[in-house]
A and B are shown apart, each in its own frame.
Chain A
């Protein structure tokens, strides 16, 4: 089972040219609670090739959302950028296997 199977939606987007932000929307409180407890920040950082201390994490019970923000692995639009809007980074997190 993947994280994407469990939740409503995972989306990502630039937050300015230097950051990307990834939102996990859970449709149920029990799913949010489970994921909030189970999802290891270090694992998410490793997915995106950044140091865990570079990752901001927000667990927001009211919205049933877990949000990660990280400095973009490559700056938006620079010569090695492959995804101008950063919207495909979400796929990595959606496909993360869960126990």
Chain B
């Protein structure tokens, strides 16, 4: 059997070529799959349970996909809804879907797949030896985690589809799971199903025109064929095979729930100028594990930005912040009674080494230096208080005692900005499951306009 999967883009919210999508609809795909997130923007989304993309952008693109789905009469699946795939963002996506159904006069059956993990479930699994650290992993600790999710594989998506879903809104899934689910359910070859899903999960990134978004993948008994649908976009053996490098620490091996993909033996052949055929990838079954992700609050932050333009200070920027930092620690101890263990202050020199820090090995002669001060404390009130305390010194502190007080450029009033919570990723572990559904929940809703 062959299975045709339409992938409109690498992530919902980033945009795609509408003409290419329309072309895809005329090619009669069996399913439309799109990813809704990743960890790539950092821990905030998971920690706070919020989408990083705007509701307006998400709704606008989802509208097009819901229309395409209704026209085709095939399922529409989004994985890792709302950037992080928490229960909260699945429900956020469901609300958008219900709103659109009303606006479009549709009444789809919507299945929600929830990936949140209660801490006690993970603790019980850990106590039973069913949680294993990956490399490198932080120490296993569940205290203070605001959200824990498990990455679903194809089994959970297949279960959602089996409920007669017109639309599946999935919580955290692996990048590939939504795309591989239907081909695997229909008995297409396993290695190529996972491999094709990996190639397509970033949309047209595997083509010569990455921003065009829309990709079609045909899966069958022996391999898969991938093609971009935008005018002037091409897949070549190089563009397709090179995609295994992207955001992948091992370009030949991809771990998934229930096994891993090995593409060492994959052969990439150009069928014509646009399409590439891939055969020879292998799926190697392994015990069923799901990856865990978690985030916790690591403090609260207040920032301050000053710009040094005076050449004397530009030339001595590092010496200045070193002297300033020592002075501020003493002031904070005296005035607030805090020890250095209670808070963190960093000054990053923009124009010197703000990007790479200690790894920086080049020196230039900047005209000016931005000094980004970052205060991290145990609550926002304390961070804000430290920010206010250090403010006059960041503005006026001299390089030496026997020179007049400088005044640097502050771009803002107030000069400090309260950033709210700083979240940190807290898990890099896998959890073994006897039944793939035992850590996931499905809810079916017939949405009425």
User: Which residues of A come within 8 Å of B, CB atoms?
Assistant: 13-19, 21, 23, 25, 47-49, 56, 58, 60, 62-63, 65, 67, 69, 71, 73, 75-80, 82-85, 88-89, 91-92, 95
Contacts and interface: CB of A to CB of B under 8 A. Distances in A.
A16 B249 contact: yes
A21 B247 contact: yes
Nearest to B348: A82
B157 to A, nearest CB: 21
A18 B428 CA distance: 8
16 contacts: A14-B40, A16-B247, A19-B249, A21-B248, A21-B249, A47-B361, A65-B242, A69-B250, A71-B136, A76-B42, A77-B44, A78-B424, A79-B298, A79-B299, A82-B356, A91-B356
Identify the 4 closest CB pairs spanning chains A and B, nearest first.
A77-B42, A69-B249, A15-B249, A77-B43
Contact of B356 (A19, A69, A80, A92): A92
Contacts of B245: 21, 23, 63, 65, 67
Contacts of A17: 39, 42-43, 425, 428
Contacts of A84: 41-42
Interface in B46-71: none
What range describes how many residues of B lie at the interface? 35 or more
Interface of B: 39-44, 134-138, 238, 241-242, 245-252, 298-299, 344, 346, 348, 354-359, 361-362, 376, 422-425, 428
Contacts of A89: 356
B93 to A, nearest CB: 23
Interface of B is mostly: loop
Nearest to A71: B136
Contact of A88 (B252, B348, B356): B356
Given A19-B249, A67-B251, A73 B359 contact: yes
Nearest to B423: A77
B195 to A, nearest CB: 15
A14 B248 CA distance: 8
A83 B360 CA distance: 13
A83 to B, nearest CB: 6
A13 B359 CA distance: 17
A47 B252 CA distance: 25
A14 B247 contact: yes
A80 B298 CA distance: 12
Contacts of B357: 80, 82
A15 B348 contact: no
A76 B39 contact: yes
Contacts of B241: 62-63
A71 B362 CA distance: 23
Contact of A47 (B137, B250, B359, B428): B359
